[in-house]
């Protein structure tokens, strides 16, 4: 198996989702710790402008968004599976709910005044100002406005009650005896709340959920090798993207294979990535681009949550 290079930072909840999956599957991986806020020149060299965290690098192929990264890891290491038979068809639906609705409620709850103080109280004022400005830029043009803290706390409390009721019969995981992608997607949102002690008390109201969170510790995260971002760029520059299979080009918008396009997220962090449209599947698309430092790259995105448009 090719080297799995995860570009992430420790406090990133979506990175925690992928770290937990890597531990669950027992995969060896390489850790590249990236900046929490912009500028991220080494990130941009590899992604072409996509700035969300994490992304996965396999040689000269770059995989954006945790949903696609989970699919890639499942393809590479199908056992143990993220889609056990008893939850077939539901894991992705619940995962999408968790990554959007549950995550939004968790973030809104965390960013109440006491949560902000807990998160940033130890930092100099200029660092706090830079972080908040960065996240404001990330959220600019978001598809829906975020909830205020009171609304978010109410939504999170309701979601926790529903999850607790689901787990109350003694099942260890949401769909039975085996963990699925849905569990990992719910977990990272609750892990994020758990990290902010000033507001984590809301979890105490749901004891079955707290036990659920604790179960993820049994997977660990492996012992990743550490790598710098410049070394990761050098790895990309030395290689070439994996050859594409001869397969149908599934595209409903009339965009032809080889067209110059821009890909961007549809929710927030909408920085576009421009390149040659070379892969179009029902659940994945990819563009080919060249960077002065990283060389030729294929940048992959999931279909859900992203849009592709002709470059003007």
**Same domain (yes/no): 95, 175:** yes
**Same domain (yes/no): 214, 93:** yes
Residue with tokens 């954006």: 64
Number of domains present in the structure of the chain: 2
Instruction: Please give the model's pTM, rounded to 2 decimal places.
Output: 0.95
**Same domain (yes/no): 206, 229:** no
Q: Is the separation of the CB atoms in 119 and 217 below 8 Å?
A: no
The shares of helix, strand and coil residues in the chain, as percent rounded to the nearest 5, are 45, 20, 40
187, 218, 249 - which closes a domain: 218
Instruction: Write the DSSP symbol of residue 224.
Output: P
Q: Report the pLDDT value the prediction gives residue 257, as an integer from 0 to 100.
A: 94
Euclidean distance between CA atoms 95 and 100, whole angstroms? 9
189, 218, 247 - which closes a domain: 218
Q: Report the pLDDT value the prediction gives residue 29, as an integer from 0 to 100.
A: 98
- Tokens coding 164: 């607790």
Q: Which of 95, 94, 22 is nearest to 54 (CA)?
A: 22
Which residues, in sequence order, are CB contacts of 284 under 8 Å at separation 6+? 68, 71, 300, 301, 302, 303
Residue with the bigger pLDDT between 45 and 123: it is 45
* Residue 237 Cα distances to 58, 106, 275, 290, angstroms: 12, 39, 17, 10
Which residues, in sequence order, are CB contacts of 49 under 8 Å at separation 6+? 271, 272, 273, 274
Least confident of 58-72, 115-129, 253-267: 115-129
pLDDT tens digits, 84-114: 998 888 999 999 999 999 999 999 999 999 9
Q: Report the pLDDT value the prediction gives residue 1, as an integer from 0 to 100.
A: 58
**Same domain (yes/no): 212, 231:** no
C-alpha gyration radius of the chain: 19
**Same domain (yes/no): 109, 178:** yes
CATH number at residue 22: 3.40.30.110
Q: Is the separation of the CB atoms in 174 and 183 below 8 Å?
A: yes
Instruction: Print the domain residue range for 283.
Output: 5-80+224-310
**Same domain (yes/no): 26, 121:** no
202, 218, 234 - which closes a domain: 218
Q: Is the separation of the CB atoms in 109 and 202 below 8 Å?
A: yes
């Amino acid at each position: 198996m090719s080297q799995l290079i995860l570009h992430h930072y420790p406090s990133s909840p979506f990175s925690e989702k992928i770290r937990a999956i890597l531990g669950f599957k027992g995969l060896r991986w390489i850790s590249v710790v990236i900046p929490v806020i912009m500028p991220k020149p080494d990130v941009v060299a590899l992604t072409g402008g996509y700035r969300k965290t994490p992304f996965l690098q396999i040689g000269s192929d770059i995989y954006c968004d945790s949903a696609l990264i989970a699919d890639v890891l499942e393809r590479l290491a199908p056992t143990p599976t993220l889609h056990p038979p008893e939850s077939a068809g539901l894991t992705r639906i619940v995962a999408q709910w968790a990554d959007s609705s549950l995550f939004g409620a968790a973030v809104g709850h965390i960013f109440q005044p006491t949560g902000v103080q807990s998160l940033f109280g130890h930092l100099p004022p200029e660092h706090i100002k830079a972080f908040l400005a960065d996240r404001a830029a990330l959220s600019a043009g978001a598809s829906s406005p975020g909830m205020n803290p009171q609304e978010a706390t109410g939504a999170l409390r309701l979601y926790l009650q529903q999850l607790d009721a689901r787990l109350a019969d003694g099942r260890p995981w949401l769909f039975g005896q085996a963990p699925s992608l849905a569990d990992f997607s719910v977990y990272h949102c609750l892990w994020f709340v758990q990290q902010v002690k000033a507001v984590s008390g809301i979890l105490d109201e749901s004891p079955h959920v707290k036990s659920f969170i604790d179960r993820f510790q049994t997977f660990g995260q492996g012992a990743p090798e550490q790598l710098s971002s410049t070394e990761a760029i050098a790895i990309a520059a030395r290689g070439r993207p994996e050859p594409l299979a001869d397969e149908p080009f599934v595209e409903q918008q009339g965009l032809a294979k080889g067209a110059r396009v821009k890909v961007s997220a549809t929710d927030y962090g909408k920085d576009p990535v421009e390149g040659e449209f070379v892969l179009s599947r029902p659940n994945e698309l990819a563009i080919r681009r060249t960077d002065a430092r990283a060389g030729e790259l294929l940048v992959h995105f999931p279909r859900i949550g992203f849009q592709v448009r002709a470059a003007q």
